Amino acid sequence: MTGYGEASAHLGGVQYFLEVRTLNNKYLKVVLRLPDALQSLEAELESKLRERVSRGTVTVSASVSDNSESAAFEVNKKALARYIEQIKEASGGAPVDIASLMSLPGVLQPPADAEGRLDATKAALFDLLNKAVAQLTAMREREGKSLVADLRSHHEFIAARVVKLKEIAPSVIHEYEKRLRTRIDSLLSEAGVKVDTVDLVREIAAYAERTDIAEELNRLGAHLEQFMELLTSTDSRPLGRTLDFLAQEMLREANTIASKSPDAAISRLAVEIKGAIDRIKEQAANVE
């Protein structure tokens, strides 16, 4: 599901900002956008995020602005003096561009207590991550309620058609028997021949077996029950993939029903069920 959350803090002269965005995805894909100085925190941030989010493309962006005096790099005066001395010797005493010297190795040293500063940044970003994900989760839960309502409507649509199929299915055999008897009687009466009742019953039984959809309807009904159990479950575990699997199984039964029965009414109902299942599959891809 889509969602967004952000958090910021100003601590000890340092401004921290972090945002989390999610887009639909069957799996969990984490994208971290951190300043170069914070790349070492990527693994821990991703691990923390995976504890809270299990599905979707999740993008985390963070920034740190330290305007305090302690953020300034220190100049290694001895190294700088040595560079100046060597450049003057090589250039015959020509003026030296100090600004260019600042980029030479060893001239600028990181601020003191770099490790302590990184620990403080890590603690601040982890706290912001928790707050941002809380916002994100609240947004996704609101969307989730809407998705559940939509999935329920598809469930009711399919369940109603399963009831109709169970009502229609037995009459298909009776209609076939009626048409077969009428056709045979019409054809054989002209020749003065009588059909063997046993042969007729055998043909009707074979047709009934070929077109029997009772098992498929029972399995489809069982899948629908499990589907509703998942929608009403209070379990906090992710349900999206399970719903997608159930939708696949329901589609399998609907396809079999459509292929087994030559009856137009049954075929139409099967097509309607398949359409609803396709919409369930689309929505299940958005459910965590």
Residue 173 is part of a domain; what is its CATH number? Answer: 1.20.140
Q: In terms of pLDDT, which residue wins out, 116 or 118?
A: 118
| Average pLDDT of span 183-207 | 60
The answer to whether 55 and 69 have CB atoms below 8 angstroms apart is no
Same domain, 136 and 9: yes
Which pLDDT band holds residue 124 (cuts at 50, 70, 90)? very high
Mean pLDDT value across residues 105-126? 77
Question: How far apart are the C-alpha atoms of 225 and 231, rounded to whole Å?
Answer: 10
Confidence of residue 215 (pLDDT cuts 50, 70, 90): confident
Which has more pLDDT, 90 or 276?
Answer: 276
What's residue 239's pLDDT? 77
Q: Indicate if 123 and 213 belong to the same structural domain.
A: no
Name the pLDDT band for 6 (thresholds 50, 70, 90): very high
Residues 279 and 149 in one domain: yes
Contact of 111 with 76, CB cutoff 8 Å: no
Both 119 and 212 in a single domain?
no
| pTM to 2 decimal places | 0.60
Predicted local confidence at residue 11, as pLDDT: 83
**Span 141-160, average pLDDT:** 89
SS3 for the chain, per residue? CCEEEEEEEEECCEEEEEEEEEECCCCEEEEEECCHHHHHHHHHHHHHHHHHCCCEEEEEEEEEEECCHHHCCEECHHHHHHHHHHHHHHHCCCCCCHHHHCCCCCCEECCCCHHHHHHHHHHHHHHHHHHHHHHHHHHHHHHHHHHHHHHHHHHHHHHHHHHHHHHHHHHHHHHHHHHHHHHHHHHHHCCCCCCCHHHHHHHHHHHHHHHCCHHHHHHHHHHHHHHHHHHCCCCCCCCHHHHHHHHHHHHHHHHHHHHHCCCHHHHHHHHHHHHHHHHHHHHHCCCC
- Considering the domain architecture, whether residues 217 and 190 belong to the same structural domain is answered as yes
Residue 157 binned pLDDT confidence (cut-offs 50, 70, 90): very high
- When pLDDT is cut at 50, 70 and 90, the band that residue 241 belongs to is confident
| Average pLDDT across the chain, whole number | 81
| % of residues, the chain, pLDDT over 70 | 78
Residue pair 64/121 in contact by the 8 Å Cβ criterion: yes
Residue 133 shares a structural domain with residue 230: no
Question: Domain count of the chain?
Answer: 3
Across the range 2-22, mean pLDDT stands at 89
Average pLDDT value for residue range 14-38: 88
Enclosing domain of residue 97: 74-109
Q: Which residue has the higher pLDDT, 234 or 180?
A: 234
Average pLDDT over residues 146-155: 90
Last residue of some domain: 126, 141, 156?
141
Residues 50 and 173 both lie in one domain:
no
Chain mean position to CA 156: 24
* pLDDT of res. 27: 80
Confidence at residue 114, expressed as pLDDT on a 0 to 100 scale: 64
Same-domain pairing of 243 and 187: yes
pLDDT at 186 over 70: no
Mean pLDDT over 103-127 rounds to 78
Q: Are residues 15 and 79 in the same domain?
A: no
pLDDT score, position 283: 83
Claim to verify: residue 185 and residue 257 sit in the same structural domain: yes
Query: What is the predicted pLDDT for the residue at 179?
Result: 63
Residues 122 and 229 in one domain: no
Same domain, 162 and 277: yes
Q: Are 275 and 251 in contact (CB under 8 A)?
A: no
d(CA 153, CA 20): 31
Task: State the pLDDT confidence band at 244, using cuts at 50, 70 and 90.
Answer: confident
